Amino acid sequence: MNRNLNLLLSGQLVSQVGDKFHMLAVAFLVLKTTGSPAKMGLVFFCSLFPSMLLGLVSGTFIDRYNRKAIIVGADVARGLVVSGLAFCYFLNVLSFPVLLLAQVILSVCTAFFDPAIPAIIPQIVKSDQLTRANSRAQFISGVATVVGPTLGGIMVAWGGYLPVFLINAASYLISAGFESIIQIPPLTRQTRSDKKILDDIRQGCRYVYRRHHLMIILIMVGVIHFFVGWIEVVIPILATGLDGYGARNIGYLQTFFGLGMIMTALLLSVINIGGREARFLFGGVFGIGILMVLTSLVYVSGVRGIVAFMLIFILIGAGIIMAGTSFRSMLQKDVPAGMMGRVFGFVAAVGNISIPLATLIYGILMSYVSHTVLMAVSGIILLPTSLVAYYLYARTDYTLAAREPQS
């Protein structure tokens, strides 16, 4: 693709694998030292909640200030925070409140880092290469999802928590090193420095609200992330009802889900779907709905072999990557460079809200309704939702095209 994208994605790979190390180590450490699942849940809440709140604010800063400085600074800050955790653990003074504070700071840094990455990609990649660039970024994320927890678990079992903290700290600093040598062209239209932050936030909200096609894409973003949260809840329940050992089944399903993401991202980085992103977005969501219904029907029919469900979950992972890659490319092509940070701040906020909301809702519903019924009903709801959204988006897109001045 190009040198700058390779540097950006190399840093992403290192830091995302290290991040998976970190979350696994923190989860085990809290359970081991406190024995409280509630405290572990509080740690995960502190890892997400600041990012939910700061989406609009962070997006405004990304549009106002130097994006390269923001991602380098965020990675350096995360590296120093995790280094501090390693130092406290080494001195045996790492308390639960300190761990919570560290997770909050890491989440704040992530709130600025995550929306900046898709905002930077259009500055270093040509428009006709955006889908391939995004698929490569999704490939990196899929690899980290599959490899990170496995290596992290091995590392915790082999060397304890200190090496994991040190590796994660180093991963952030290495990532910052890659990012520091990226050459990012300056924005052609910068936000006026004399405007107030609140004015920029209002401008971003008005920009999204007044463009119905963007609102439809953001709704799809929420749907995609919501069903990622659904998968996190359903996999353990489904795995325990299948033949074999429940914990091993969970690993199989999660691995094949990740493999579906990786293979599809790799495929999209090779083929060109330019101009067809909308079909892949809404088609991916429609496909996920079909697969949810299929999962329920296969289970209800009495099939308990793990292989059938592994094949279904590899397809679910493929659908999520098709949709996720497509919506990023659609936004990057449509949104002006000077508004990109705020729009992807919206995207990050919607995603960070949708996943924990799904885990909460499905966790409660499964106490009263069979998971097979929930899967079938959810899939049936998703099918017309994706079709109606595609129809509305196509109409809106056509209307916008009709308003463009003819050359």
pLDDT in tens, 73-89: 999 999 999 999 999 99
Domains delineated in the chain: 1-128+147-180 (1.20.1250.20), 197-401 (1.20.1250.20)
Kindly indicate the confidence band of residue 65, based on its pLDDT and cuts at 50, 70 and 90.
confident
Mean pLDDT value of segment 32-40:
76
**188: helix, coil or strand?**
coil
**Between vectors from CA 348 to CA 347 and to CA 350, what angle results, nearest 5°?**
65
What is Dmax (Cα atoms) for the chain? 70
150, 258 contact by CB (below 8 A):
no
Which residue carries 């040509």 as its tokens?
126
Query: Is the CB of residue 122 less than 8 Å from the CB of residue 335?
Result: no
Tens digits of residue pLDDT in 189-236: 544 555 677 777 788 788 878 888 888 888 888 888 887 777 777 887
Question: How confident is the model over 366-399, as pLDDT tens digits?
Answer: 878 888 898 899 899 989 999 999 998 888 765 5
Question: DSSP character for 190?
Answer: P
What the block records as the tokens of 329 is: 């490319």
The pair of structure tokens assigned to 203 is 């401008």
pTM: 0.80
Q: Which two structure tokens, joined as six digits, stand for 195? A: 């405007």
What's the pLDDT band for 170 if we cut at 50, 70, 90? very high
Contact present, 61 and 200 (Cβ < 8 Å): no
What does the alpha-carbon distance between residue 101 and residue 113 come to, in Å, rounded to a whole number?
Answer: 18
As a whole number of angstroms, the distance between CA 277 and CA 218 comes to 15
Q: Report residue 136: phi and psi, to 5°.
A: -70, -40
Place of tokens 């990609």: 121
128-145 residues labelled b (16+ CB within 10 A) or e (exposed): ebbbbbbbbbbbbbbbbb
Selection from 182, 154, 170, 159 nearest residue 14 by Cα: 170
Q: What tens digit of pLDDT does each residue of 308-331 get? A: 999 999 999 999 899 989 988 888
